[in-house]
Amino acid sequence: MPDGAYITFRPAGQASAETEPTTASVDINDSNINQLNAGKMLKLKFPKK
Amino acid sequence: MRIPEDKALWLQETLLEYNGWQWGLVSFALGQIASLPAGGEARWQFGVDIIYRTLTCDLIGVDVYIECHDRTSLLNAIRTVSPFKDLGGSLWNGTQVSGTQRLSQLAAAYFPSSGELNHTLNPAFIEALEQIFAENGLPWSEKPLLPIMTAGAGAGALSAS
């Protein structure tokens, strides 16, 4: 992103064989968000209903 | 338990996050550890060593290499490129890692009730990890395993590894 943040999106079924195939995921590495999240990047999971 | 508590809790939480999930490699350089200032060289070194340990012990695997092409080039790259410069760039963010079956079996043995994060340190889990590290020739130590190459340290050593 222009502000230096990194966002990675993984569509459901597109990650490794060991990962849940029905859930998409996103991680966001942004210094401002990390500060609010115990120093970690934000990891989001989006299960299919 | 030989691993200090703050590092042990971070290690437990980080590995459980990768268990069954793929995330960017940079997670190994993030997250609060009381004894390691965030964003510093010691934190970078710790992240590199944990990546090396967990890869060698088949607890994590690399699914997608970015700005490197195999395990050797990855290990050389993460020693050279700071995860804190430009937020780690494509190397640290784009390289995708997930937990292995071995990690899954270990997590199931010590955290049988759910796959959710457990924020309470489980010393038995850490001791099992320490055993795995030792069995793979990497007993716990505070000494760097793969020394980082900071600016000005010279790149010559990279060719020796």
What is the SS3 assignment for B125?
helix
Q: What would the mean pLDDT of B121-141 be, rounded to a whole number? A: 97
Could you tell me which residues of chain A have a Cβ less than 8 Å from any Cβ in chain B?
4-6, 8, 10, 15-16, 18-20, 25, 27, 29-31, 34, 38-41, 43, 45
Evaluate whether B119 touches B12 at the Cβ level (below 8 Å): no
The residue that leads in pLDDT, B159 or B121, is B121
Cβ distance of A29 and B88 shorter than 8 Å: yes
Q: What does the pLDDT look like over A15-48, one tens digit per residue?
A: 777 777 899 999 999 999 999 998 999 999 998 8
Evaluate whether B128 touches B110 at the Cβ level (below 8 Å): yes
- In A, minimum Cα distance to B60 occurs at A18
Cβ distance of B31 and A6 shorter than 8 Å: no
Q: In a 10 Å sphere around its CB, with 0-12 CB exposed, 13-18 middle and 19+ buried, how is residue B65 labelled?
A: middle
Residue B131 CA to residue B54 CA, distance in Å, equals 12
The beta-carbon neighbor of B26 closest among A15, A29, A38 is: A29
Q: What does the pLDDT look like over B5-49, one tens digit per residue?
A: 999 999 999 999 999 999 999 999 999 999 999 999 999 999 999
**B101: which 2 tokens?**
């079956």
Q: What is the pTM assigned to this prediction? A: 0.90
Mutate: best of A3, A18, A25, A32, partner B, most B CBs <10 A: A18
